[in-house]
A and B are shown apart, each in its own frame.
Chain A
């Protein structure tokens, strides 16, 4: 989502909505997408004309009061708590102090919006139950709580002075230069002015030159502020914002949708097979029958010859249709399972194949289908490329794992990645958490192994 926004934003020709950073100005444009962070804004040619440099400055400057408050509260808390701990009253105070990272982090996440409009969620989860004790217990057990406390310490001691220093120098120097003519007119009495306490400007042109340099430096400052604010925001995000909590959920959903897709794909194959069987195949058989009967009654001659030709064609169409249907969804697999289906694939193989499958029951439909098509593809490849004189299919189900092996005595050198149908089948097997491995050294032999975790179908388990 964020990535999309960024890409679209960068491609925008108009900056009016983008410049505002919230998309409310220049509502006349249809553009509502905007750059989500100062970091992406930096790359834009019209960066300085937008609100982003000001937002960056605001971000860095507002760090000071927050950091200073944190420092004071922590110092006071520790001192008071430490002293009172002697009389045990201070202990609860210290406990509460340990949780002080929570509000600091919450505030920092809000401040993050100044330079990074991507959502910044809290890393904390819902308490296990109602009541402050349960809440505290939940929080103390979360690593995020301690990370936030650490962040508060660093903010109070290091970060805010750094932020202030950078913003002060980067803004202060050009501002001072810009103000040179003004100072000359007032304090300097139009005579002289000391610029940045380094050199003396003694004429108006010098004063205005200093102002011009200041203006230029201000432009550079805009970028420096943006860069520093971006770095500071990134640090905050890494420490205080959990890595996209939706990601795991999205991965799970992707896995689920992939399984659904494969299922839908299977269902569609079955439907096509059924439609072809119920429709085209029956009609062709009927046609062939009618032509056969017509031939019985046709007197010898050109008409009978034509009839014979038509009859032959109908027969060929039927044979082709039968093979097609078989390839789409082999009925023998659905009716009788993997063993006869693989035996049939072996029957059709050009290279003689020995089949030894130790599978006394039926496996889940999708497992049978995946294993069957892998074997078919392997046998096809053996027939086409291997130059083998024999092939062997072995398989068993052991310890919740179906393992099938197809080996041949061919010349080897098979490459699973090179345009073979095995890649697609590997995807199909991986949906079932299975694997395909291929070993094919030059000179052979080639061994293809497919493993799919599965259990027997329940009706055969009993």
Chain B
């Protein structure tokens, strides 16, 4: 599923110069090219139009209002260019922000990570690759928050199935989930099949159904 080590052309939007420079260096370290690094939402939209990047990485809070301009720009990009992968870096654990992003478009090729995560450079890189190749990634911290809630559509799932779904939401492959839970990949596949059935997701291409399952999970 994942295109390993594919060099990506990235448009980066981050108003803090310190982090912008840091992210450029980080992405360069993994062989990606930042074709444009901008400091506000309007410049982001322009840069995307100019460069047609492989993936967009953007901060939520940016000038001029320092509200959620970055998120609004990301949602707009998702609506205007549904095929453009967008990874949003955020300071907010609240699911409202994650839902707002994931509800835009069909939920594929999109990621919501806490800013702290860029410190976990390899995790961050893996998430970026996942998003760039059409996957869905939600920050583990946000997912953890959600697990603690009672969510009606998911009540039919067994605790194990919920655990697996949580890991799917974090953007993990079947293989990675199997390793983490110390079970066989086939067992994971069986769990996922059962989850998809219980959530009444229409039969379709498996990746797409996974994404839908994650959305159900987040919206619940």
0 or 1 for each of B109-132: is its CB under 8 Å from A? (1 = yes): 000001110111110000000000
**What is the CB-to-nearest-CB distance from B103 to chain A, in angstroms, rounded to a whole number?**
13
Which residues on A sit within 8 Å (CB–CB) of B146? Answer: 347
Q: In the bound complex, do residue B95 and residue A296 qualify as a contact, i.e. CB atoms below 8 Å apart?
A: no
A254 within 8 Å of B (CB atoms): no
**What is the CB-to-nearest-CB distance from B160 to chain A, in angstroms, rounded to a whole number?**
20
Which residues on A sit within 8 Å (CB–CB) of B66? Answer: 274
Which residues on B sit within 8 Å (CB–CB) of A278? Answer: 16
Knowing A290-B22, A293-B29, A347-B145, say if A285 contacts B96 (CB, 8 Å): no
Q: Contacting B96 at CB < 8 Å: which of A290, A311, A332, A352?
A: A332
Closest to A352 in B: B150
Which residues on A sit within 8 Å (CB–CB) of B26? Answer: 289, 292-293
Assembled-state Cα–Cα distance A102/B16 (Å):
74
Q: How large is the interface on A (under 10, 10 to 19, 20 to 34, 35 or more residues)?
A: 35 or more
A331 within 8 Å of B (CB atoms): yes
How many B residues have CB within 8 A of the partner chain? 33
Interface hit among B1-9, B86-94, B203-211? B86-94
Q: In the bound complex, do residue A325 and residue B118 qualify as a contact, i.e. CB atoms below 8 Å apart?
A: no
Assembled-state Cα–Cα distance A341/B145 (Å):
14
Assembled-state Cα–Cα distance A250/B66 (Å):
39
**What is the CB-to-nearest-CB distance from B145 to chain A, in angstroms, rounded to a whole number?**
5
**What is the CB-to-nearest-CB distance from A345 to chain B, in angstroms, rounded to a whole number?**
10
B186 within 8 Å of A (CB atoms): no
Which residues on A sit within 8 Å (CB–CB) of B91? Answer: 277, 281, 322, 325, 331
Knowing A277-B61, A322-B116, A347-B145, say if A286 contacts B22 (CB, 8 Å): yes
Q: Which of A274, A289, A311, A322 has the most CB of B within 10 A?
A: A289
Q: In the bound complex, do residue B96 and residue A336 qualify as a contact, i.e. CB atoms below 8 Å apart?
A: yes
Q: Contacting A347 at CB < 8 Å: which of B95, B116, B120?
A: B95
Which residues on A sit within 8 Å (CB–CB) of B118? Answer: 285, 288-289, 292
A283 within 8 Å of B (CB atoms): yes
Q: Which of A287, A290, A326, A335 has the most CB of B within 10 A?
A: A335
A344 within 8 Å of B (CB atoms): yes
Knowing A334-B67, A347-B145, say if A285 contacts B95 (CB, 8 Å): no
A438 within 8 Å of B (CB atoms): no
Q: In the bound complex, do residue B96 and residue A344 qualify as a contact, i.e. CB atoms below 8 Å apart?
A: yes
Assembled-state Cα–Cα distance A14/B136 (Å):
84
Which residues on B sit within 8 Å (CB–CB) of A336? Answer: 96
Q: In the bound complex, do residue B92 and residue A331 qualify as a contact, i.e. CB atoms below 8 Å apart?
A: yes
**What is the CB-to-nearest-CB distance from A368 to chain B, in angstroms, rounded to a whole number?**
14
0 or 1 for each of B97-114: is its CB under 8 Å from A? (1 = yes): 100000000000000001
Residues 259-295 of A at the B interface (beta carbon under 8 Å):
274, 277-278, 281-283, 285-293, 295
Assembled-state Cα–Cα distance A178/B215 (Å):
107
Which residues on B sit within 8 Å (CB–CB) of A282? Answer: 16, 18-19
Assembled-state Cα–Cα distance A289/B148 (Å):
29
Q: In the bound complex, do residue B149 and residue A293 qualify as a contact, i.e. CB atoms below 8 Å apart?
A: no
Q: In the bound complex, do residue A340 and residue B116 qualify as a contact, i.e. CB atoms below 8 Å apart?
A: no
B68 within 8 Å of A (CB atoms): yes
Residues 286-337 of A at the B interface (beta carbon under 8 Å):
286-293, 295-296, 311, 314-315, 318-319, 322, 325-326, 331-332, 334-336
Q: In the bound complex, do residue B119 and residue A348 qualify as a contact, i.e. CB atoms below 8 Å apart?
A: no
Knowing A331-B91, A335-B68, say if A319 contacts B22 (CB, 8 Å): no
Q: In the bound complex, do residue B19 and residue A285 qualify as a contact, i.e. CB atoms below 8 Å apart?
A: yes
> A residues touching B (Cβ–Cβ < 8 Å)?
274, 277-278, 281-283, 285-293, 295-296, 311, 314-315, 318-319, 322, 325-326, 331-332, 334-336, 340-341, 343-344, 346-348, 352, 354
- 4 extra interface residue pairs, beta carbon distance < 8 Å, beyond A319-B141, A326-B93: A289-B22, A315-B119, A332-B94, A344-B96
Q: List 9 A-B contacts (CB under 8 A).
A: A274-B66, A277-B61, A288-B118, A289-B118, A292-B122, A314-B119, A331-B92, A332-B94, A343-B96
> B residues touching A (Cβ–Cβ < 8 Å)?
16, 18-19, 22-23, 25-26, 29, 61, 66-68, 91-97, 114-116, 118-122, 141, 145-146, 148-150
4 nearest CB pairs, A to B: A288-B119, A340-B96, A292-B121, A332-B94
